[in-house]
Amino acid sequence: MNMDIHLVNRALLNIGQYPLSEADRTNENTTFVLCKNFYIETFLEALSEVEWTGGRKRARLVLTGRPVMKNDRYQFAYDMPFDCAKPIELQNNEYFLVEDRIIYTDVKDAELLYVSNGKVLRKLKSISAPRPGELPDMEYLTGGRPGDNPDVTLRAGGPRDLPKEIPEGYDKVPLPEEENTDDFPDYTALQYEPKFYQYVETMLSAKFSMKLSNDPALSNNLLQKAMLIKDEAYNTSKSSKAAKENGQAWWGDELGITSGSRELDHLGNMMRKDRW
């Protein structure tokens, strides 16, 4: 994912600063590095604050293998998806609790709806076994989906334990892939609603103002404007969620009278007689 240069330039212009030029990007001067650091920081913060309607995903959760503190109140402990910025809901709107990126719930085979930050897993280049007491130098190791052939083979021992004869095909080493030159190679660009980008732009302007200008009042005004945008986005998300919930029950259902029943037909006939 690359920094949205147009959004950043609008944020700079909002506080009376010069926009970034192509030379700034090429030379990676102080202003460009400042904008780049503030951009990813603000981007991730914004995603974690509101249940945005864009960038949503649904994933089947995996039971955690981490040595976590047992929670006796819940039957299951799941790992939160690695690209989850804001969890929204489980299927059937079941209750869950999040602690240290672990999801505790009583739901079996849980599926989570969440806002994704677009994080991607870096491809595994090499694996080294740590010494006793040391942590491994990788975050994730996956064998792929069930039925996939692994592209990494682990063998116990040292270099002298390698087979003397290289199996057929192992000498065909693929060429190294091109290096990712994106500003943020650990993230891929997703589509979010316009209100999200408006919030990010305003928050960036507020942060730039605190760093690049001597006008505290301007920064405070921008922060207040950003909070109004966030509140509006929160209310929009809340309204959208409420619209999916069950509406008010029919009075006949409350009385235990179903459509087409004799009781309902009799009640309807009585009401017609009263009218006429």
pLDDT tens string 156-171? 555 555 555 555 555 4
Is the pTM higher than 0.85? The answer reads: no
Tokens of 149: 């052939």
Q: Which of these ranges, 59-63, 64-68, 99-103, 151-155, has the smallest mean pLDDT? A: 151-155
Q: Please give the Cα distance from 162 to 160 (Å, whole number).
A: 6
Q: What are phi and psi for residue 105, nearest 5 degrees?
A: -165, 170
Q: Please give the Cα distance from 235 to 59 (Å, whole number).
A: 25
Q: Is the dihedral of CA 211, 214, 217, 221 positive or negative?
A: negative
Residue with tokens 């009278």: 257
105 forms bridges with which residues in the sheet? 76, 96
Q: Is the pLDDT of residue 224 over 90?
A: yes
Top pLDDT among 97 and 136 is at 97
Give the SS3 label for residue 263. Answer: helix
Q: What are phi and psi for residue 147, nearest 5 degrees?
A: 100, -15
